[in-house]
Structure 1
Amino acid sequence: MARSNIKRLLKDIKNFQAENYNLIISDFEPVSSWACYLKNIPCVALSNQAVIDLDQRVRNGKMNWLGRLILMRYAPGTSKYGFHFDPASENTYPPLIRPTVRAATTTDNGHITVYLPAYEDKKIIKHLSNFPETKFEVFSKHRSSEKGNDHITLLPLNNEKFIASMATSHGIICGAGFETPSEALFMGKKLLVIPMSDQYEQQINASVLEKMGVTVLQKLKTGRADIASWIINGKVVEVDYPDRTQEIVDRIVACHAVR
């Protein structure tokens, strides 16, 4: 299976006609990136992964050499612009926040929104059952319908309901991806992240978030005391994430488009 996937990838790279475009922007996508690289055609890398090359703080984070090598070589680019939880360098920008999230009205209904796709539902329920006085809304890729009680509610993945749950939550527990933690911070919610152990990118994100003041756990099963402390004493990490989408687009087109 892996061999056939590699053959398909190499075929797609070979067949991608990069020379037919005035500007190629890759969001950490290997086909267009490597097609440009092999044909010596400029390619703009625009992604949160690009900050590895742009921000020394990220390079100094918790990450082994293999993970760094994979992320740096997976989708090469001649110019790089990145998104960062705490942008500081010239070519880094705040996270792109979806319009529906920006428009959401935030309140505090007291529940904790949970999204941990790396864990099975039964494991999540087992550990959250240690906190009977707290209400949890757990979104799960394994659910097709809502199920639960006054303490823990399991809900199927639904974008609209997930945003509503986050917006009305007291706090958010999630993996250390980029989108959900960014949106939680933007909404002004206290945040606890549990990075996937085999995901290099999540380990980087967790390291950055921890330095900002976000609570980070390496494993759900060993975090009972930390979760209890976070529920009671966890603080909101204040951020400023203005919408700079048009600015980024204008800059890239002005600097890199072939006319």
Structure 2
Amino acid sequence: MRLLYGVQGTGNGHIARARIMAAALAERDDVSVDFVFTGRPPEKYFDMEIFGDYRTFTGLSFITKRGRVDKWATVKDANVSQFIKDVKALDTRGYDLLVNDFEPITAWAAKQQDLPSIAISHQAAFNYDVPKSGNTIFDSLLMKVFAPTDLQLGVHWYHFNQPIIPPFVSEKPIMASANGHVLVYLPFEDVEDIQQMLEPLSDQVFECFHPNIDEVKEIGHIHWHPTSKKHFQKALQHASGVIANGGFELSSEALQLGKKLLIKPLHGQFEQLSNVLTLNKLDLCHTLFQLDTDIVEEWLEAPDNEAVTFPDNANILIDWLKNKDFSDTQSLRDALWKNVRYGNKTQERLLALAI
């Protein structure tokens, strides 16, 4: 089987999910794959060796300013003529299937060239009856037309009795100091604003990663790092807690590691607002709606989260893709959710909420 795999590259979460799939696919000789990434300049991708000879296009992405989606700037910045050219130029002949993680160029190319396609993404979960917050008619329309596919297979922290599978998370818990550093990853906020929020909390060390940081620098108890998969994962493993935007993949990794979460959802991004809603329902995060030192200080005293165990073996999914019986999502769902383990309190919350 020959797969074309389209990945939205605007955020690192989509790429993190694709890395796990790429590693599993690399171990098989019955499936080959070519990756396409869009949404950021080619030089801004990092630690991409696992994807081999991947291709990049400009694609479409959201413009953010100080922690908020700027819809007008997003529309203004969109290069629609280039997008149409790239869709027409992408030849999907020779592929058996498109796997799509909210990536528009491969989705539209597959649609126009009659290549069977399946979305496997967190965004696809919002096509179904799952908790939502802040979604508008514009958001619902965007979800339908941004990266259209023949079948939508959602990825979420619970299946909600829908065609939804759990995330794959490869990180495993290790013994870490309870009074260790706090990991901060707020890529949509200004560096100066983050620094100002954390400055007064001098008793706590913060390891901050940000795409606008070019080299490591320490400003007292606040340590700044450029984005790097290796160093980020090490900092995550040893953190006592995580302050982040409401992206799905990092929250999933933190949940698996039992790290307490302080989430600042990206304003105007209903997916992140919906993620916070679900995590709050399960009592698995605290929320930060604006950069506020007092809320961070209060959160620092909160206990750790109960860990949630997610599967790390993508072969069940790959076998299902290879069988091509896409009408049967139930067997895939059942096989994967058997590998998920919730803590006792989280399980009680699921039962109490009837979800």
| Bucket of the pairwise TM-score, normalised by the shorter protein | 0.7 to 0.9
Deviation at 1:106, TM superposition (A): 4.2
Range with greater deviation from structure 2 (211-220 or 35-44): 35-44
Residue aligning to 2:296: 227
| d(CA) in 2 for partners of 1:249, 1:106 | 32
1:148-200 superposed Cα distances (whole Å, 9 cap, x missing partner):
25521122222211111111111000111122111111111001111111333
| 1:215 corresponds to 2:289 | no
Deviation at 1:237, TM superposition (A): 4.1
| 1:107 corresponds to 2:179 | no
| d(CA) in 1 for partners of 2:236, 2:264 | 17
- In the superposition, the TM-score normalised over structure 2's length comes to 0.64
**Amino acid of the structure 1 residue aligned with 2:118:** V
CA RMSD of aligned residues (A): 2.4
Deviation at 1:27, TM superposition (A): 1.6
- In the superposition, the TM-score normalised over structure 1's length comes to 0.86
Residue aligning to 1:17: 91
Contact 1:115 1:139 in 2 (8 A): yes
Contact 1:61 1:208 in 2 (8 A): no
| d(CA) in 1 for partners of 2:185, 2:111 | 37
Residue aligning to 1:255: 324
| 1:57 corresponds to 2:130 | yes
Alignment of 1:151-190 (within 5 A): 151-190=221-260
**Percent of matched pairs sharing the same residue:** 28
**Amino acid of the structure 2 residue aligned with 1:253:** K
Which structure shows the bigger proportion of residues in helix conformation? Answer: 1
**Amino acid of the structure 2 residue aligned with 1:227:** V
SS at 1:57's partner residue? coil
Deviation at 1:251, TM superposition (A): 1.2
| d(CA) in 2 for partners of 1:82, 1:172 | 25
How many residues get paired? 250
| 1:66 corresponds to 2:138 | yes
| d(CA) in 1 for partners of 2:136, 2:162 | 26
SS at 1:131's partner residue? coil
| d(CA) in 2 for partners of 1:10, 1:234 | 50
Deviation at 1:73, TM superposition (A): 1.9
For the structure 1 residues 3 and 153, does the alpha-carbon distance in structure 2 shift closer, same or farther, using more than 3 Å as the test? closer
| 1:82 corresponds to 2:154 | yes
| d(CA) in 1 for partners of 2:91, 2:205 | 53
Aligned counterpart for 1:36 among listed residues 107, 110, 129: 110
**Amino acid of the structure 1 residue aligned with 2:314:** T
Residue aligning to 2:69: none
1:51-108 superposed Cα distances (whole Å, 9 cap, x missing partner):
0113x123x43322212221232111111212112333353222122x4x34x63412
Contact 2:96 2:115 in 1 (8 A): no
Contact 2:181 2:207 in 1 (8 A): yes
Alignment of 1:116-131 (within 5 A): 116-131=186-201
Contact 2:264 2:288 in 1 (8 A): yes
Range with greater deviation from structure 2 (132-141 or 2-11): 2-11
- Identify unmatched segments of 5+ residues in structure 1: none
Contact 1:118 1:196 in 2 (8 A): yes
**Amino acid of the structure 2 residue aligned with 1:7:** S
| d(CA) in 1 for partners of 2:175, 2:82 | 45
SS at 2:119's partner residue? strand
| d(CA) in 1 for partners of 2:135, 2:303 | 26
| d(CA) in 2 for partners of 1:14, 1:243 | 36
| d(CA) in 2 for partners of 1:118, 1:166 | 19
| d(CA) in 2 for partners of 1:182, 1:30 | 24
Aligned counterpart for 1:200 among listed residues 270, 273, 279: 270
For the structure 1 residues 86 and 243, does the alpha-carbon distance in structure 2 shift closer, same or farther, using more than 3 Å as the test? same
- Identify unmatched segments of 5+ residues in structure 2: 1-74, 327-355
SS at 1:35's partner residue? helix
Residue aligning to 2:163: 91
SS at 2:301's partner residue? helix
Contact 1:212 1:237 in 2 (8 A): no
For the structure 1 residues 65 and 207, does the alpha-carbon distance in structure 2 shift closer, same or farther, using more than 3 Å as the test? farther
